[in-house]
Amino acid sequence: MLVCRLALRELWISFRLLLLLAVYVAAGTVAAVVPAPLPTTLFRLAVGLAAAGVTAAVIAAWSLSRERALGRAAWLATHSIPRATILIGWFVPLAAVSVLGLLAAGSLGWLATSASSARPGALAFAATVASIATLVMALLALGLLVGALVRAPAAALVTALACALIVAVPWAAVPPVTLPIEALARLPELAAPTSLAVQGAGAGLLATAVLLIVARGALGRVDL
């Protein structure tokens, strides 16, 4: 928990925590404040959450790479803090802040759909937002993996490009691959949105676990 507290303090004093919350709230606010038909509202919310998830991953990559560059990670490692603990110590606060941001954005997005008679069911909407949360966890883990290997600012650039491709390529595919972000944008037309959300959540959790394991191995082999 020491590393989590240090990471949270660093995020706070560097305004990265406020930036992370702001991008999520902005995604929900744009969907809620600007009047539009239901498909447009859901599309705006999906794009906003995708942008927020990529931003979170970039912050994760930048944060860990900066900890290495400034010698803080090495200092912790020399004081009997396992490298795996350093990794998880950054993942947990970033994930917690992202979940809070998603709750705020999802609540605003749900309010924005209240004016439409074709609004999706509450369970389907909540399950889809929850599956997006697992996708964000995977993007955070990817950002930490890049941050463990690449120095800033290159880590931020590599993470932004990789995460943008992960989100955009399935959306642009023909036919589109229904990942959580795409599912939110197409929620009214999906036959079984809750089932798709559960499958997406499982895939997101699996990807998060695999990426964290790889990041742990990478951090254990690089010079801090």
With a cut of 90, say whether residue 81 has pLDDT above it.
no
Q: How far apart are CA 147 and CA 156, in angstroms?
A: 8
157 pLDDT exceeds 80? yes
What span, in angstroms and rounded, lies between the C-alpha atoms of 198 and 170? 18
What would the mean pLDDT of 27-56 be, rounded to a whole number? Answer: 88
- Going by pLDDT thresholds of 50, 70 and 90, the confidence category of residue 76 is confident
pLDDT score of 24: 94
Angle, vertex CA 63, rays to CA 10 and CA 164, nearest 5:
135
The string of pLDDT tens digits covering residues 24-40 is 999 988 888 877 788 88
This prediction's pTM: 0.93
Q: Which residues contact 128 (CB under 8 A, 6 or more apart)?
A: 180, 183, 184, 187, 193, 196, 197, 200
Average pLDDT, stretch 139-154? 93
Which of 58 and 167 is assigned the larger pLDDT?
Answer: 58
Confidence of residue 19 (pLDDT cuts 50, 70, 90): very high
Share of the chain above pLDDT 70, in %: 95
